[in-house]
Amino acid sequence: MGGSSSTPQPPPLSEQSKKIAQEVKENAIVIYTKDGCGYCVKAKNELYEDKIHYTEKNLNTIAKVIPNPEEYVRGLMDLTRQRTVPQIFICGKFVGGYTELNALRPNLAKILETCSVDNGETLRREFTSKI
């Protein structure tokens, strides 16, 4: 009964959550989407307009090609604590959905430069080649 407060520790990540966490670290931006999601389309359109490359993981498509797609979706939800899409990861970190991406948009290119292992050179080349 001391004066210290303790924060409950989050539950350990499932194997599927660990796989997804690794997956999102391998790409600068990963967007988890579903067919028919208007905010998913808005997020992808804004990135396209800004000439920012992203990796899309469509949960409808994933459900057709992997065994136990429910485990995959549950792993994603365990990792993000979100039930809606889009779910957007930048530089391996979950940032939220469309609203959060839109708020980051003015600084997104700079954010991507700082998280790139080579000070953004690879990302700059990728952006320049698309202009």
**Domain edges within the chain:** 15-130
For 74-120, how does the pLDDT look when each residue is reduced to its tens digit (9 = 90+)? 999 999 999 999 999 998 899 999 999 999 999 888 888 887 666 55
Please give the CATH architecture assigned to the domain spanning 15-130: 3-Layer(aba) Sandwich (3.40)
Whether 127 has a pLDDT exceeding 80, the answer reads no
Cite the DSSP H helix spans in the chain: 15-25, 38-49, 59-65, 69-80, 98-104, 108-115, 121-130
Q: What is the pLDDT of residue 12?
A: 77
CA dist., res. 50 & res. 102, Å (int): 11
**Full-model pTM:** 0.80
CA atoms within 13 A on the CB side of 8: 3
Contact status, residue 127 vs residue 109, Cβ threshold 8 Å: yes
Longest dimension (CA), the chain: 62
Whether 3 has a pLDDT exceeding 80, the answer reads no
